[in-house]
Every structure is written in C-alpha cells, then in structure tokens.
Amino acid sequence: AKQDGRNQAKFFTQQMAVDSNKLLNLENELRRTLGTSRYTLFYQPKVLAGSHELCGIEALLRWTDDSGKIQPPNEVIPILESSGLIIDVGEQLIYESCIQLKKWQDNGHYFNYALNISARQLLNSNIVDTMHKAITESGCDPHYLEIEITESVVMSDVRSAFDKLVKLQALGLRIAIDDFGTGYSSLAYLSRFPIHILKVDREFVKELPMNKDSITITRSIIELAHNLNIEVVAEGVENIDQVKFLETIGVEEFQGFYFGKPMPLADFERTWLNVSQM
C-alpha cells in the first residue's frame, strides 16, 4: 500500500507537470502570436424582436493554434487573463473593431458593434485612451460601438469601474451588462451606472417558456430594466418558442443559435449583408 501511495503521488506530480507544461506552452504560443492574424474575431448577429432584422453583432475572439485548429475562448481567455496578455490582445481587437466598423459604415451598413471587455482590461489598462485613439484613427462613428462587461467586473472595483464607464460613455459608446442575473449585484444598484443594455443570461433563456422560476426572473429583470430605461437583449436563444415568449414579455433584441452562430467575417457578410465574395 505504501508503495502504491508513492507511485500514485509520483503519477500525480508527473501529470501535474504535464498539465502545467501544456499551459505554459499555450501561454508562450499566445504570446508569440500576439499581433498576428492568429487572433481573429467571429461575428454573431443580434436581431430586433418582431421583424427579426439585423440590428447588431457581437464580436467574439477566436485563436488559431499551430495546426490551424480554432480554439474556443473558454480555453484561451483564462490564460490571456492570468498572464496579462489580454490587455495587448484587447487593444488589438479594439483597433480592428473600429476599422471594421468604419468599413461597414462606409458601405452603408449601420448596426451596433459589441466587443467584450474583461475585468483586467477595463480596470488595469488605459482603455479610455485606446478607445479614443482607435475611434479617431479609424474615423468610425462611435455611437454604434458597445462594450459588454459582466456584473462581477463592476463589483470588483466599483469606483474605478464607474469612472471608466463614465469616460467611455462620453466617447459615445453604449455599455451592456453581460450574463445578467448570474451575479450578485442588483439592478437597482447598477442603475447608478451609465448602463444602456442588459443581456439576460442564457441560463434563464434556456428554461423558457417552461420553467416557472425562469419566467418570473426574466419577467422581473425586463420590468425593472425598462423602468430604468435600459434595453434588454436575450442571449442564447435557440428555438421559436423562446422567441415567441420573449416577444410577448417585451424583450427588444435576440441573439442565439436560432438566428445565427458566431461566424467568420466573410460568412457574416455573405449571409447577413448580402456581400458577395469574388
């Protein structure tokens, strides 16, 4: 048994070494490919309730590994965050986003462009200056720009978050609270912040229109948001029953696989903007 224990301990340390080695390699790869096209954005449509017309997109980070395989953000973003690389990547994405938005606007395509901003990026970087520079240099109309942040970002450093959001709003941007309902903050509290949009988390949408609790929660989120002049977007919409139900209770916008998955630029332009590829 003693021998067993020792072997097991050895196995675990070896396994842990392999795992941490893997993470370190991934981190090195992420660092080595900074600023290259290995980082790209996929676009997911947002549509208006009722007409189901395109009204915006969410830009979602994708990273391509050495073998050409696209890695999902849930593998990559935690490493970008813990290593601090998210600040450099985030800056790159802000510039790319403003340039892309300007291209669309020049071609007469006006819709909202939402970018996710992580805690570190909001609180520990010069995001206001970066955003200002990217808007000025690209010449895009910033009133179509949105940033998505989570409640936990706001709650982690209330003063600093408030200060940054006020400055970002002053640049013309709109601010969305992402994954709403999963954190511990109250909307009454958040109402003191410059918040324009609330995204109801997929966890609640998933259970609609069957689950009574999800119905109650979604209804009250919508009512409170509307009383505070905040728009509501439902995320993770996957079927027509959810759409119908959410329309009856007054959600303004939808996002989810039912309308479209996140997709590369060319696919998005072909399917949603009728841009033909040469």
Which spans of this chain sit near ligand C2E (rule: CB under 6 A)? 44, 60-61, 72-74, 77, 93, 116-118, 148, 178-179, 202, 236-238, 255-257, 262
- When asked if residue 253 is in the footprint of Ca ion (CB under 5 A), the reply is no
For the stretch 75-86, what's the b/e string if a residue is b when 16 or more beta carbons lie within 10 angstroms of its beta carbon? ebbebbeebebb
Greatest distance between any 2 Cα atoms in the chain: 73
What residue 200 binds from Ca ion, ligand C2E, none (CB within 5 to 8 A, per partner kind)?
none
Among Ca ion, ligand C2E, none, what binds residue 264 when CB lies within 5 to 8 Å by partner kind?
none
178 binds Ca ion (CB under 5 A): yes
If contact means CB under 5 to 8 A according to the sort of partner, which of Ca ion, ligand C2E, none does residue 74 touch? ligand C2E
What minimum distance in Å lies between the beta carbon of 132 and ligand C2E? Answer: 19
Output the six-digit token pair for 61: 């980070």
* Minimum distance, C-beta of residue 110 to ligand C2E, in the bound complex (Å): 22
The residue among 59, 56, 58 whose CA lies nearest residue 111 is 56
Parallel/antiparallel/unpaired status of strands 70-71 and 54-64 = antiparallel
CB of 89 to ligand C2E, least distance (A): 8
Q: Quote the least distance from Cβ 20 to Ca ion, whole Å.
A: 28
Please state the closest distance from residue 196 (CB atom) to Ca ion, in A: 14
Dihedral sign for Cα 168, 172, 176, 177, please.
positive
Q: Quick one: what does residue 78 bind among ligand C2E, Ca ion, none, with the CB cut-off 5 to 8 Å set by partner type?
A: none
Give the residue carrying structure tokens 């600093």: 160
Q: Tokens representing 113?
A: 């462009």
* Closer Cβ to ligand C2E, 106 or 241, answer by number: 241
Q: Give CA–CA dist 278/271, Å, rounded.
A: 15
Q: Which is nearer to Ca ion, 54 or 177 (CB)?
A: 177
| Residue 43 structure tokens | 């676009």
Within a 13 Å sphere around the CA of 90, how many CA atoms are in the beta-carbon half?
A: 25
Nearer to ligand C2E, 46 or 138 (CB): 46
94 binds, among Ca ion, ligand C2E, none (CB under 5 to 8 A by kind): none
The answer to whether 249 and 49 are in contact (CB under 8 A) is no
275 DSSP assignment: P
Q: Which of residues 114-173 bind Ca ion (CB under 5 A)?
A: 116, 148
- According to the binding rule CB under 5 A, does residue 96 interact with Ca ion? no
Query: Would the CA dihedral through 223, 177, 252, 200 be positive or negative?
Result: negative
Q: Which is nearer to ligand C2E, 115 or 135 (CB)?
A: 115
Q: By beta-carbon distance, which residue lies closest to ligand C2E?
A: 256
Distance CA 4, CA 10 (A): 10
CB of 18 to Ca ion, least distance (A): 31
Considering only CA atoms, which of 120, 187, 124, 180 is closest in space to residue 150?
A: 180
Around Cβ 28, how many Cβ atoms within 10 Å? 11
Q: Closest approach of Cβ 217 to ligand C2E, in Å?
A: 17
Q: How many residues bind Ca ion (CB under 5 A)?
A: 6
Per CB under 5 A, residues contacting Ca ion are 116, 148, 178-179, 202, 235
